[in-house]
Amino acid sequence: MTARRSGSADLPLHGGRVPRWLGERMTKLGAVIAEAIVIEYGREEFLRRLAHPFWFQSFGAVMGMDWHSSGITTSVIGALKRGLNPLAGELGLNVCGGRGAHSRQTPHELVAIGERVGFDGDKLAAASRLVAKVDSAAVQDGFDLYLHGFIVADDGRWVVVQQGMNGDARQARRYHWLSEGLKSFVEEPHSAIDGEGQGVIANLTDARAAASRRMQIDLLSDLGPDRIERKIAKIEGAAKPAKAPLQPFLPHLVMPAHHDVRAEDIVARRLHANLAAAADQGPKDFAELLLVPGVGARTVRALAQVAEVVHGAPYRFSDPARFSVAHGGKDRHSPPGCPRNPLN
């Protein structure tokens, strides 16, 4: 099965819940619109439309959700799951996953559907996990995933719509994937590359990061978790030491101001455990590494940092617009270097 990233969308982050009456209305409208498209143009066309960030946003607006809100993603996926799954026998479409705990059930749902309709559910479950890992660990753009929707047809074709959150920026970013196009999940899985430079972003899917991907696998077997962890400590040792507490013999907890959980907030022992788990699994390539349970952004960044120091294999590049279809902030600030930017 081939796959490609088909686009992304940046949205203002809105809280709150969809009222019951609106949720019911969206369920009915979504099912009717989807049914009309499938009957008139076919299931493949409906999947293609879901994979288009502009069409998806318009679809949510027609269903009654705020036109610019991050809540469109959650509400549309939820409404389609409630509205289309009862029609799966007629339309041949199944909606899996959702927000939070629902997203983690996606692989189990895919396996169950595969047993019922005949496609390889285990293979699609692996695709679901891999797509989530690519957008959370392989490309680290400051957004933490909290929603994963997987829409699959009875013939095995699929689309993924998932969303991440950046609490500091009060912004959400939606990622769209479609199961046709490029042949790799982990090398240039983008159908379009556009956008303004927004700083240094860790991007292990860039073609220029191929050496880093290979060297990360070699490091697990050549160095092992202990030596990798020591090198990471040395690399990150340039950070300022923590301020000594006034009463050094009492437990002292210092919490950061930021709300989201970042890589530096994770205790090093957890990193060692993840490295050990990855080494035990013995992944043959970068895709298998991403699929190791527990391996996420922190583990991948640690391996990439060591690979860069030991082997000179870069994983960050000066032109992030080359590999990201994210278009920048909603606040209309000019990029650094622009004459209109008052900070220049």
Q: What is the pLDDT of residue 250?
A: 62
What is the reported pTM? 0.76
Rounded Cα–Cα distance for residues 197 and 335 (Å): 7
SS3 49: helix
Q: How remote is the C-alpha of 80 from its chain's centroid?
A: 21
Could you read off the pLDDT tens digit of each residue along the chain, which spans 344 residues?
A: 344 566 666 766 666 677 888 889 999 999 999 999 999 999 999 999 999 988 898 888 888 877 667 788 999 999 999 999 999 999 999 999 999 999 999 999 999 999 999 999 999 999 999 999 999 999 888 889 999 999 999 999 999 999 998 888 888 888 999 988 657 889 887 654 444 455 567 889 888 899 999 999 999 989 888 899 888 888 876 444 555 555 555 665 656 666 655 555 555 667 888 999 999 999 999 999 999 999 999 899 889 988 988 888 888 765 433 333 332 333 344 444 444 443 33
Rounded Cα–Cα distance for residues 330 and 169 (Å): 10
SS3 94: strand
Rounded Cα–Cα distance for residues 26 and 131 (Å): 27
DSSP per residue over 299-327, as a string?
HHHHHHHHHHHHH----EES-GGGT----
Find out whether 271 and 298 touch, Cβ atoms under 8 Å.
yes
Residue 336 has phi, psi (to 5 degrees) of: -55, 140
Q: What is the pLDDT of residue 176?
A: 92
Burial of 343 (0-12, 13-18, 19+ CB in 10 A): exposed
Q: What is the pLDDT of residue 327?
A: 28
Q: What is the pLDDT of residue 12?
A: 62
Place of tokens 């590049």: 317
Q: What is the pLDDT of residue 333?
A: 40
Rounded Cα–Cα distance for residues 172 and 92 (Å): 31
**In 3D, which of 71, 56, 63, 67 has the Cα closest to residue 25?**
63
Query: Tens of pLDDT along 188-206?
Result: 876 544 444 555 678 898 8
Structure tokens at 124: 């699609």
SS3 160: strand
Q: What is the pLDDT of residue 97?
A: 96
